[in-house]
Amino acid sequence: MSKYNDTIYALSTPPGKSAIALIRISGKGVAGVLKKICRIKKAIPKKTNVVFLKYKKILIDEVVVLYHKAPRSFTGEDMLEINCHGGIAVITKISKTLEGLGVRLAEPGEFTKRALINNKIDLVKTESISDIINAETEKQREVAIKNLSGGLSEFTKKINQKISLILANLEALIDFSDEELPQDLLKKIKEQNKNIIREIQKELKIAEISKPILSGVKIAIVGKPNTGKSSFINFISKKDVSIVTDIPGTTTDSITSSIDIKGYKFTFVDTAGLRSHKNKIEELGIQKTKEIIKSSDLNLVFLEKNEKKSYNKINKKLFIKSKLDTRKNKNIKQEIFNISSCTGEGVEKLLEKIYKKTIKTTKNDPILSRERHIGIMKKALKTLKSINFNQNFDILAYEFKTVLDLTLEINQKFDIEKILDIIFKDFCIGK
């Protein structure tokens, strides 16, 4: 039985003109909609029907409808999928008609929220659905689908089982006399604890190395005016994101552009660069550059001549000299990347170097991909590491129980309201 009384609808495909659009409806009012606008009295679940939508004698569109009967649907409620023509007027007319029938527009993520509340999916799966929709690169997709297919759930289940085993052993120590128990049971518990610590540490390490998969890598482009910074960001973005002129100081603000390198998201930031300023605008732009340098994972310093020493204060950096196509004397120094944003010469090699400098690959993709999971596992690890085995068994059992409560949080619904807002803020309407 659904925990909701109202019926919701949403356009699940992107808004705008398209060949086909998908409108989903979920809730108790689905049967009414089927009868009133689809003219289907008894729909067969999971069977497609090609029908003319009609309401109050007005013909709306010819559509394909698919009915899912509760609880055997994504939300656990009666659901209807209307595949209509993707015309803006068609979508508006269907939406208005549904609203006239008392069906309301869903909030972002509301279909998935209903699936979660109605026990159709677990918490980790809910988060993975959001992650797979928001995945922009191949690596992000790989991590999301791994968890959607149960990667994190399996890992936490394994950890929970191991902690439960320790608790069972401790229970035995509390309840039975020494003679009835196998020797060195406490030693065994200590070993089991070490084993759990190792497993969590391993996953936390992979999560740390894999941070760039999810958050991406930030690369600042700095240097003197007219050194070709904006031309470079335009070249790698394959479009004009930044204005280019031969007037020094063209770029006054920061401009970002993200590109995919080997499945990772790299966000390049073109800046006003570093130079002495002539006016307030330039001063603010240069100030901003300094902040971007500090927060970026790597800085590309574009050189005019050989002013490398002026950038001693910048930590993570690569030196670049552009306009290779115009230079007669191609005095190529090893530690400087020579490129041309006109011909593209040297750019591929530079991108390869940027990748190598910022990405550490691991054999395994991360299982702990969200701050929520990492936070819980870090807390669990801290408690497990601090356990003092010289205490009374009751206290020991209490401490392991605290860890179990924590790790169970990854996939359980207590405190649900607290975390729902965090999870559903990334959802789009229609999911």
Ligand X SMILES: Nc1nc2c(ncn2[C@@H]2O[C@H](COP(=O)(O)OP(=O)(O)OP(=O)(O)O)[C@@H](O)[C@H]2O)c(=O)[nH]1
Report what 228 binds from ligand X, Mg ion, none; CB cut-off 5-8 Å by kind. ligand X
Q: Does 97 bind Mg ion (CB under 5 A)?
A: no
Give the separation between CA 205 and CA 318, rounded to whole angstroms. 27
Q: Does 230 bind Mg ion (CB under 5 A)?
A: yes
CB 218 within 8 A of CB 297: yes
Name the minimum Å distance from CB 299 to Mg ion: 15
Report what 323 binds from ligand X, Mg ion, none; CB cut-off 5-8 Å by kind. ligand X
The two three-digit tokens of residue 305, written as one number: 């001549």
Across-strand partners of 375? Answer: none
Report what 55 binds from ligand X, Mg ion, none; CB cut-off 5-8 Å by kind. none
Give the separation between CA 413 and CA 116, rounded to whole angstroms. 9
Choose the binding region for Mg ion from 14-22, 54-62, 221-229, 415-423 (rule: CB under 5 A).
221-229
x/- site string to Mg ion, residues 172 to 211, per CB under 5 A? ----------------------------------------
Query: Of the candidates 370, 369, 371, 381, which has an alpha carbon nearest to the alpha carbon of residue 406?
Result: 381
Q: Which is nearer to Mg ion, 67 or 302 (CB)?
A: 302
Q: Which is nearer to ligand X, 230 or 407 (CB)?
A: 230
Q: Which is nearer to ligand X, 142 or 304 (CB)?
A: 304
Name the minimum Å distance from CB 345 to ligand X: 9
Name the minimum Å distance from CB 275 to Mg ion: 11
Give the separation between CA 55 and CA 304, rounded to whole angstroms. 70
Binding site for ligand X (CB under 6 A): 225-231, 244-246, 248-251, 273, 302, 322-323, 325-326, 340-342
CB 293 within 8 A of CB 311: no
HSE on the CB side for 207, CA within 13 Å?
19
The two three-digit tokens of residue 125, written as one number: 């799966």
Q: Does 147 bind Mg ion (CB under 5 A)?
A: no
CB 319 within 8 A of CB 307: no
Name the minimum Å distance from CB 300 to Mg ion: 13
Q: Does 251 bind Mg ion (CB under 5 A)?
A: yes
Q: What are phi and psi of 291, to 5 degrees?
A: -70, -40
Name the minimum Å distance from CB 29 to ligand X: 58
Q: Which is nearer to ligand X, 245 or 331 (CB)?
A: 245
Angle, CA 237 vertex, CA 231 and CA 242 arms, to 5°: 45
HSE on the CB side for 213, CA within 13 Å?
24
Choose the binding region for Mg ion from 69-77, 122-130, 143-151, 222-230 (rule: CB under 5 A).
222-230
Name the minimum Å distance from CB 300 to ligand X: 11
Report what 273 binds from ligand X, Mg ion, none; CB cut-off 5-8 Å by kind. ligand X
Name the minimum Å distance from CB 307 to ligand X: 14
The separation between CA 249 and the C-alpha centre of its own chain, rounded to angstroms, equals 36
Task: Sort 41 into a burial class: Cβ within 10 Å, 0-12 / 13-18 / 19+.
Answer: exposed
Looking up tokens 């677990």 gives 122
The two three-digit tokens of residue 259, written as one number: 């590109």
Q: What own/partner pairs with CB < 8 Å and gap ≥ 24 does 44-47 have?
A: 45/69, 45/72
Name the minimum Å distance from CB 265 to ligand X: 23
Q: Which is nearer to ligand X, 246 or 415 (CB)?
A: 246
Report what 226 binds from ligand X, Mg ion, none; CB cut-off 5-8 Å by kind. ligand X
Structure letter (DSSP) for residue 46: T
Name the minimum Å distance from CB 327 to ligand X: 9
Give the separation between CA 409 and CA 207, rounded to whole angstroms. 19
Report what 279 binds from ligand X, Mg ion, none; CB cut-off 5-8 Å by kind. none
Q: Which residues bind Mg ion (CB under 5 A)?
A: 229-230, 250-251
